């Protein structure tokens, strides 16, 4: 039986991020460990320290160690090595660009946890280049394993009957309790950015660039003026690899010589200038200043008036919700979907309180006192993803009561659990077929483990 409750949520930090944090920390605190080989899969060995790292990662992500944890973690590591071996036999390729992009994404996440790239380097006593060199093979193997597993389960699907049969196999006392789930719709009107607004932003950046050309520090100007929250506090510094930034940005970076400051260019985010610090192949370090065009306060007043008109029409039943979304909303993510707000953590249209607290706390405050189908009055809204301010009306589409999972109310959830169960069975059969011809060696200390798969021939 699979762990049904594991599919209820998708964690915001990836397993690989946790692995990297654990690996780096382990190198700092456990350098004196007397290591040994505990298993071998093909040409690849697994060390006792690998298991200890996995234990630290498990605890760090909120899990609990059990008497069987070492055996379970060893089996997971052997499975990963089996995937990697088969990926190499099947000539699955992972490009350097894929590895670099994945590594840069993970390092950026770690930076957010620690505070900055400089703090990351200081804390671990390694440069970013050294960290990248240390992890290049690790990340490549992780990506190989993911690609291989994906090929094994490619095209997996379940029928309605399979979903029903799966649900019947769940012991009554194991059926999970589903917390209250909410779903929302919105009508958003963002103030119009006029040509005059864009010119103001452009002229401001032109003045900043002129100051830099006349000897002022790019770093200081970025800290004072840049509207990019991710780089401003680092003096505009960005370390990236080709493929990570928008095309206009990268085209500019790769056209510069070392130390050169670009002309002003525009992207969907606003107006930019870039100074190239260093470039090695597809990797580069640059400094960046972003100025985002801001609307005239009168435009926000216009949006408020528009949304007040929308609200009055909805309240008097002179306009239904679907038509109001089409007529009034200029939010590109929701105005073609009846205003339904997708949960970015799970990719679904339902939310629990934990998700709301992470993404949009205002929604709960606006709808807590509403009944199903009721709407909030117009309120100011800040879209943290696009960094845009507007005015919106929120509608409570659904609010479920806490209940035990059932096929009528939670079909999509149970379907995912059924798919995961089928995936595990496919993988188990694949492992069984590969073990017949694979070289496996396990240290005597772990030979009494109650593994899910028969790794050693009897």
Which of 234, 263, 291 finishes a domain?
Answer: 291
213/304 same-domain check: no
311/423 same-domain check: no
185/332 same-domain check: yes
Which CATH number is 432's domain given? 1.10.4030.10
231/287 same-domain check: yes
386/309 same-domain check: yes
Q: What is d(CA 364, CA 376) in angstroms, rounded to the nearest whole number?
A: 11
158/36 same-domain check: yes
C-alpha distances (whole Å) from 73 to each of 34, 54, 300 are 19, 7, 55
Provide φ and ψ at 380, rounded to 5°: -65, 145
Q: Is residue 122 part of a domain?
A: yes
164/213 same-domain check: no
144/42 same-domain check: yes
Per-residue pLDDT 10s for the chain (458 aa) are 334 433 333 333 344 444 554 455 544 444 445 689 999 998 889 999 999 988 888 887 778 899 999 999 999 999 999 999 999 989 999 988 888 888 877 777 777 677 777 777 787 788 877 888 888 888 899 999 999 999 999 999 999 999 999 999 999 998 988 888 899 999 999 999 999 999 999 999 999 999 999 999 999 999 999 999 878 988 999 988 787 888 999 999 999 999 999 999 999 889 999 999 999 888 899 999 999 999 988 999 999 999 999 999 999 999 999 999 999 999 998 999 999 999 888 888 889 888 888 888 888 889 989 999 999 999 999 887 777 899 999 999 999 889 999 999 889 889 999 999 999 999 999 999 999 888 999 999 998 999 999 998 76
386/430 same-domain check: no
Question: What would you report as the CA-atom Rg of the chain, rounded to the nearest whole angstrom?
Answer: 27
Q: What is d(CA 54, CA 63) in angstroms, rounded to the nearest whole number?
A: 11
- The number of folded domains in the chain is 3
Which of 291, 326, 349 finishes a domain?
Answer: 291
Start-to-end Cα distance in the chain: 25
Q: Is residue 208 part of a domain?
A: yes
355/316 same-domain check: yes
Which CATH number is 366's domain given? 3.10.50.40
Domain extent at residue 208 = 195-291
Residue among 131, 106, 134, 115 nearest 13 (CA): 106
């Amino acid at each position: 039986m699979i762990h049904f409750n594991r599919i209820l949520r998708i964690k915001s930090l990836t397993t690989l991020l946790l692995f990297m944090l654990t690996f780096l920390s382990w190198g700092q605190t456990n350098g004196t460990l007397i290591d040994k080989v505990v298993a071998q899969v093909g040409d690849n060995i697994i060390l006792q320290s690998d298991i200890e790292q996995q234990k630290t990662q498990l605890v760090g992500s909120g899990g609990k160690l059990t008497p069987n944890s070492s055996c379970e973690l060893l089996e997971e590591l052997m499975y990963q090595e089996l995937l990697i071996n088969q990926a190499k036999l099947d000539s699955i390729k992972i490009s350097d660009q894929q590895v670099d992009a994945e590594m840069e994404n993970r390092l950026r996440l770690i930076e957010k946890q620690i505070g900055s790239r400089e703090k990351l380097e200081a804390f671990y006593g390694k440069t970013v280049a050294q960290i990248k060199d240390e992890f290049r093979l690790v990340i490549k193997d992780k990506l190989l394993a993911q690609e291989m597993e994906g090929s094994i389960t490619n095209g997996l699907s379940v029928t309605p009957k399979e979903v029903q049969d799966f649900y019947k196999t769940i012991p009554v006392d194991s059926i999970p309790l589903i917390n209250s789930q909410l779903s929302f719709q919105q009508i958003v009107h963002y103030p119009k950015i006029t040509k005059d607004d864009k010119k103001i932003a452009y002229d401001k950046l032109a003045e900043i660039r002129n100051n830099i050309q006349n000897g002022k520090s790019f770093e200081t100007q970025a800290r004072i003026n840049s509207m990019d929250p991710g780089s401003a506090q680092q003096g505009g510094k960005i370390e990236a690899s080709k493929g990570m930034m928008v095309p206009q940005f990268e085209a500019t970076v790769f056209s510069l010589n070392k130390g050169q400051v670009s002309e002003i260019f525009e992207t969907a985010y606003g107006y930019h200038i870039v100074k190239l610090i260093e470039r090695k192949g597809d990797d580069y370090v640059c400094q960046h200043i972003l100025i985002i065009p801001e609307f005239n306060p009168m435009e926000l007043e216009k949006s408020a008036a528009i949304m007040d008109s929308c609200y009055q029409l909805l309240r008097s039943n002179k306009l239904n919700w679907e038509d109001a979304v089409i007529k009034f909303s200029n939010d590109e993510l929701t105005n073609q979907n009846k205003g339904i707000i997708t949960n970015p953590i799970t990719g679904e249209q339902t939310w629990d309180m934990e998700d709301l607290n992470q993404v949009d706390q205002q929604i709960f405050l606006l709808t807590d006192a509403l009944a199903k189908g009721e709407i909030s009055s117009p309120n100011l809204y800040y879209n943290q993803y696009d960094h845009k301010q507007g005015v919106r009306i929120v509608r409570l589409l659904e609010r479920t009561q806490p209940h035990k999972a059932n096929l009528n109310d939670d079909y999509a959830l149970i379907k995912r659990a059924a798919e995961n169960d089928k995936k595990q069975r496919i993988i188990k059969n694949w492992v069984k077929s590969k073990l017949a011809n694979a070289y496996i060696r396990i240290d005597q200390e772990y030979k009494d483990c109650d593994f899910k798969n028969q790794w050693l021939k009897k």
